[in-house]
Structure 1
Amino acid sequence: MATSYQESSSLLLQDLKVTIKEASLIFPFQETLTHERKSMFLSNVDQVLNFDVQTVHFFRPNKDFPPEIVSEMLRKALVRAMDVYEFLAGRLRLNPSSGRLDVDCNGAGAGFVTAASEYTLEELGDLVYPNPAFAKLVTSQLQTLPKDDQPLFAFQFQNISRQLSLPSKREALINTSMQRPYSSQSSFSTTCHIPTPRVKIQDSETTTTVFEATSEHLDFNIFKISSQQILRLKEKASESISSTGCVRATGFNVVTALVWRCKALSFVEEEDLEKESTILYAVDIRGRLNPQLPSSYTGNAVLTAYAKAKRKALLEEPFGRIVEMVGEGANRITDEYARSAIDWGEMYKGFPHGEVLVSSWWKLGFAEVEYPWGKPKYCCPVVYHRKDIVLLFPDIDGDSKGVYVLAALPSKEMAKFQNWFEDTLS
């Protein structure tokens, strides 16, 4: 049985008593500012994925690295990073000639904020359970600047406080035309069968995300799946996966299949079994394009894969078949498919339709990053009020190969989700 972390929100600290000590802009070296000003093309993937992703990283105290020393190290590291990645000090602008968003590499600076809380790390309680108050630990905008001049970058950048070998400026600012659409008259309909977008943006005013926040009450629950349970899921899937197929029972595939089954069946009545369910999940396309994107590519390089089936099939089919459908969705994304999907984005400027999106932070490397003051005790995204997004993130401070599954659903749906979760793991 998976460990459930569902708790009453009344037990969580509602006010972290955070005081902003300093909020300022940090600029690249002066020699960087003298370079010819340029704008950076943003691919259709960047145009759609135009929203903030806020994370918090918790560290144990280290007597050799008090807060003031850490703050200064981060400040210097940020300047060093901006010297290579010039766009970090830029601003998002609407290009009047193309009607597209570009990054104006104008050296206007990145945000740097220092703050303090009256609480100790121990007093925050169980860090695993998503506390909405953690949003107080993240600065969404600098109050001294107008809304249309906010920094693209407020410090959440990993590894830069270590003496790493950063890429050259030429490598860091590679031409993102590698993800430009082939043409405005795409042939995507014959090569790229993407679920019809829920949101179509008719003009270039404001972007809207597909999975909008809901006003209804949601129960938040985190399910911990151990490495041993993942192994058993793989074994269960392998019993019915075709031996001649191209899908493997990977950790991601089995956990995503588990989430899809539980989410699809969490609100099913008898008459709903013939309805289709579509799951969406991100796939890294760096190695799938021809030529491949280099490791120094700094834009969004993910596309949305999908799997679709009737809910009755998710109820009755062997678990391995559900895993196969998830894997087949990722296998569709070849170079031709990816290029065609980028064309599709040029035409629709929206997000594919799906019943649930699995957003995986599981393999992003948070657990492997070791700062001079130590590895993080815990890292997590700031919780948001959306019931159609399920997050996967690693167990950093415990079972390094285990995974946490964060779901937010209305109470009745959460009860069913949990029942199906435990049923599938049994």
Structure 2
Amino acid sequence: MICIWERSMRHLSAILVILMGLVLSAPLSYGASDDTKKEQKSEQADDSKPILLLQVGELLAVPGQAPLTQQTIVVEGDKIKAVHAGYQTPEDLDFPDARLIDLKDKFVMPGLMDLHVHLTMTKDHDSKADDMALVGVVNARKTLMAGYTTVRDIGAWGNTIFKLRKKVQAGEIDGPRIFAAGQIIGVGSKDGGLECNGPESCRRTTRDLIKAGADWIKIYSSCSGSQLCSNENGAPVFFADEIEAVTQVAAKYGVKVAAHSHPRNSALFVLKYGVSSIEHGSFMDDKALRAMKKQGTYFVPTVSVHDMLEKLKADGKVEGKMLAHNDAFLAQHPDTILRAYKMGVQIATGSDAGVVPHGKNYREIERFVALGIPAAQALKMATVNGADLLGRSDELGTLEQGKYADIIALDGNPLTQIENIEKVVFVMKSGKVFRRE
């Protein structure tokens, strides 16, 4: 009986082992099957993305480097999938359903960037929300059609710019990719009820802007260029505890700060608090420029404004102290820019469109070249450097695998003649074609 019982137990144990194995293997088998299904779904999703092949005659894939000839850019969805030498066809790359775009006789480069615009403003702007919205829609399209696929809007009234940014992101309005600062922080009460008057109000204002959706914070560290107090000897407008409050809140939330500055000493003052860019910088001295180079602070000169200042003078529309004031800008600002460039300060292009015409953002690049900056470096400032200042070099600024397909084509080579930057005949942003002639 004992032997029979032992044999029965051994059989039962064997059966239990088999059953346990089946139970344990079931979820593993199920899990593998589920993963396979997910992979299949992922592959199907990838296959559903439209594929475009751009056959390019001359390609400036990385501004600052030499251009390439006879290249094919593969765009999948909103990103660049690959760049191949030679003119590849859909059959060559095994993409039978790919759409072919012929740019063999064009100069192709990354979409341009303007790091100082005011999309909801024009020269004769109205600060009413409905007018700003209409102006913003028009200016966004003008900017995109000029080949600018990314902008930093560095000053606007109210929250209209944030709403415009949202509509552009949703594809409901044609426009460039927008990084927005919202209202500018200055001293005293600001439009819309914001104020920066003492550290507590400056801290509250900065928090309010970030809560409203600001990607950047913009501060007036000096008077506006249209005021006489923005002259070379003008004083910084903030006290140390006020600007410290702004920059500390911005740093806490990981938001960069741009500082409007004209006088000699205001830039040097704000550089103590870790701002990421100096806007205008008309009268900066070598001490400030050395500090900028050491800290990696960008210079956004907005030299395009000289078009306006020169025209006002030629038309006799300014006189007396203001004329002398403007003449000082025209005389010293170009020298500041060239000294910055020769010292190795990082420079990004910013036109101040809104003060000057929208859609002519390219004037900043042309002005840089007229000052003596090589065209290759000016184009790098309008692409690679802009992406770096925005902290988006992994996504923007060059035409390389994995980056957003922000691509423009020109009817001429701007490296040999910078005015060809105006001859935009093709604009793609995030893989979508907005202009093709």
The structure number with the bigger radius of gyration is: 2
- Please state which band the TM-score falls in when normalised by the shorter chain: under 0.3
Greater helix proportion: 2
TM-score by length of 2: 0.22
The structure with higher relative contact order (CA 8 Å, sep 6+) is 1
